[in-house]
Amino acid sequence: MLFLVGLGLSDETDITVKGLEIVKKASRVYLEAYTSILLVDQAVLEKYYGRSITVADREMVESNSEEILRNAQTEDVAFLVVGDPFGATTHTDLVLRARELGIPVQTVPNASILSGIGACGLQLYSFGQTVSMVFFTDNWRPASFYDRIKENRDIGLHTLVLVDIKVKEPNMESMARGRIVYEPPRYMTVGQCAQQMIEVENDRQEKVYTKDSLAIGAARVGGLTEKFVAGTLEELCSADDALGPPLHSLVLLGRRTHELEMDYVRQFAVDKEKWDRIAKEEYGKQ
């Protein structure tokens, strides 16, 4: 059987009891390592699980899945995913390939950013579509997220913005010369995300949000050093030092934000007086 095992959001102890039992008994254990990261190293996981782990990068999962699925008709293979296997990032391609080969599949769920973000004080029922923000380049500035945010804002819902990570990305110049050299890992910050959002709003001029829209920066959600900073998008452009290391996420508050939500988030505000003023003017909250 192929087991897709969620690892949770933080460290080696977040795995469920069911997941840990599967890992200990599996013939092979793979760790998906390109859509997110845990806050501990691979060696820490291996020591806690009592098993060696093969890191499965994007190339292996997308182009060499037969290695992961090898003999899974007669052996148990564990494929570990940070968060929940079908949370922010799905692995339906791998499941479909397994089913084509007649390999049974079982999922072991766990906490993901989609549920963990509730720790910021906003009601999960009041979130709309989740969107992703990628690193902009000089000639590539995708803005499809803007339309999804507009749909959420039109009905008053919050928006969770998941930010880009680049792990084992090939250097284009080296590839053009026939050599594969990988770039150092890069993790987008809340400040970078907020800045890019403001740039797109300046381009589009549809007032879906502004530099004064209220938002929450989140870092290392679910971990011991979890951190939230709230303020305007403009204020969050300078919040990276307060938030600290990756992983980061950002939330835009919806116009139907409840007073209890607003009161809860206020404790994280950079400038509480400014927060109160905008909450009253833009969101109708005292």
Binding site feature residues: 9, 84, 87, 112-113, 163, 221, 248
Cα 113 to Cα 64, 117, 218, 247, 280: the distances in Å are 28, 6, 10, 10, 29
Of 255, 256, 211, residue with least CA distance to 236? 211
Binding region for S-adenosyl-L-methionine: 9, 84, 87, 112-113, 163, 221, 248
Cα–Cα distance for residue pair 270/278, rounded to 1 Å: 13
Spatial CA neighbour of 112 closest among 127, 98, 101: 127
Contact 4, 105 (CB under 8 A): yes
**What's the half-sphere exposure (Cβ side, CA atoms, 13 Å) at 33?**
18
Tokens of 84: 């929940």
Omega prior to 247 cis, within 30 of 0: yes
